[in-house]
Structure 1
């Protein structure tokens, strides 16, 4: 068990090092002068020189990387070129909407997706299974922004049942906070519900076809015991894997959803930074999101040892 955990930790550190190198080179190896790109057209030479000095672009590349990596480890993500604010401060101002949307989406996606997958596997080949399979195919195929604009038209413009855009902090009340998250959460959840349901169904059907499941049925085990006590537990590893993968897809989906519903989160911050060529902000968001993604995958890998004891040895 200890060897497995240490091996996973070492691989996680190596992955983050590779990701850090890639993000660092993303700016330095871009075509043209990065400082001139960030300054924009018709920028004064002195402004370009100031940007180069601020980013340390005058130093050799290995020295730049050492300084950049040390600053990242100390939590210093630099200053925004255009706002003049610390990058970490800008990100912290946008964290609450993004975290709220991501957590709500994961809760809805996992609960509904696992339920649909179990139900489809239990009624395999029947009308319920066919209907859920068709829903999964549709939900996984339709882009998030199409679903988002459809929801805006139906529930905000036509019926005016829900707010069309914006975000209300949870400090201003749980009710307004929840109402403003309904449309973006449901729109963002649909592809993940479909994705999780398909994997859960396939995993459950594979387990239900095993000999020990037929033995349990012959001994008179109830459907509830077979589905939840035996099948779901043994199909847990693939389900955890797909939940971890869903987080990777969720990162891109949050950017699109926040843009469609005008939610002032980290996704909108990235879009604005890309539009204004604010590379320090882009790098800061990328390194934080990449680190969070790697840590979640590490947690998923370590959780396998609780589900399947054979991995410990």
Structure 2
């Protein structure tokens, strides 16, 4: 077990190093930089002024030097300075992380609470009217784009209640924040719940056909005991994988939802930073998303051992 953890952590470190190189290289391959954007916006075509901006921002230094400066700063907790606001990047990023984190957390909780039970019900009641209805619901969730669903929710809110859900930075307390973020979380989590529902259903159907389930039924075990104690525990393994992937995806996939509901989170800020070629912000935010994805994959692997003690990592 210890050797596996060491190998796994080393693999995570190598993956993050590779991601940092890829992020840095791809960002520099995009045509134009912030100096070009500023010069175009001001209508100034003075090459000396552009060269001064490039020099002040350190963009004229060798690419390898820029990369090592960024990595060295990350190692010491220094994320550099944002090009646009000229403030420390950590001060721009840190307040937005909890906002996106709460929204993604609520969305994945909604997806699990809706997707897993409905998937189980759909499997247990296979080929009934309820099963067909739930399958149509799950297909709808996979088909509806989140931005379209978000706009529908906003228009329905205006039509029925005469108002729209507005993000309030002054909302304090657990229930106040849940109430504020509930609608956008449902919108963004609906697709994930549909995916979890379909996977839970298919995994449950596969497990319910296994010999040990039939043996449990032949020994007189109740339907609830067979469905939940025997079948669901083993059916959850692939579902846990999808939940981990969806949780990691939601952190970086909130762009449209945060824009539609005017939520000042990480994803929306990332789009703005890309538009301005704000390299420190884009690099650090993308690296943050990579860390979340790698960490979630690691936690999923650890969850396997908890759910199924037969799994051993050597």
Equivalent in the alignment of 1:160: 161
Tell me the distance in 1 between the aligned counterparts of 2:209 and 2:52. Answer: 67
1:116·1:197 contact (CA, 8 Å) conserved in 2? yes
1:106·1:189 contact (CA, 8 Å) conserved in 2? yes
The normalised TM-score by structure 1 is 0.92
Deviation at 1:51, TM superposition (A): 4.2
2:82·2:280 contact (CA, 8 Å) conserved in 1? yes
Deviation at 1:47, TM superposition (A): 4.8
The normalised TM-score by structure 2 is 0.91
Tell me the distance in 1 between the aligned counterparts of 2:181 and 2:212. Answer: 44
Equivalent in the alignment of 2:224: 224
Report Cα offsets for 1:84-135 as digits up to 9, x if no partner.
1111111112123212211111111111111111111111111111111110
Tell me the distance in 2 between the aligned counterparts of 1:169 and 1:291. Answer: 29
2:99·2:265 contact (CA, 8 Å) conserved in 1? yes
Deviation at 1:213, TM superposition (A): 0.5
User: Per the alignment, do residues 199 and 233 of structure 1 end up closer, same or farther by CA in structure 2, a change over 3 Å counting?
Assistant: same
Q: SS where residue 31 of structure 2 aligns?
A: coil
Equivalent in the alignment of 2:38: 39
Q: SS where residue 253 of structure 2 aligns?
A: helix
2:200·2:239 contact (CA, 8 Å) conserved in 1? yes
Report Cα offsets for 1:129-180 as digits up to 9, x if no partner.
111111000111100011101011112x111276433234442x44442332
Deviation at 1:278, TM superposition (A): 1.9
Deviates more, 1:55-64 or 1:38-47: 38-47
Tell me the distance in 1 between the aligned counterparts of 2:115 and 2:247. Answer: 14
Report Cα offsets for 1:265-302 as digits up to 9, x if no partner.
11221122223332221111111111111111111112
Superposition map of 1:264-303 within 5 A: 264-303=264-303
Please state if 1:86 is matched with 2:114.
no
Superposition map of 1:1-313 within 5 A: 1-32=1-32, 34=33, 36-41=35-40, 42-43=43-44, 44-155=46-157, 157-160=158-161, 163-171=164-172, 173-308=173-308, 309-313=310-314
- Give the CA RMSD over aligned residues: 2.0
Deviates more, 1:243-252 or 1:145-154: 243-252
Report Cα offsets for 1:192-235 as digits up to 9, x if no partner.
11011011111111111100100001111111211221111112
Tell me the distance in 2 between the aligned counterparts of 1:261 and 1:290. Answer: 25
Deviation at 1:73, TM superposition (A): 1.8
**Structure 2: tracts of 5 or more residues without a match:** none
User: Per the alignment, do residues 141 and 227 of structure 1 end up closer, same or farther by CA in structure 2, a change over 3 Å counting?
Assistant: same
Report Cα offsets for 1:44-82 as digits up to 9, x if no partner.
545533443354333333333222211122221111111
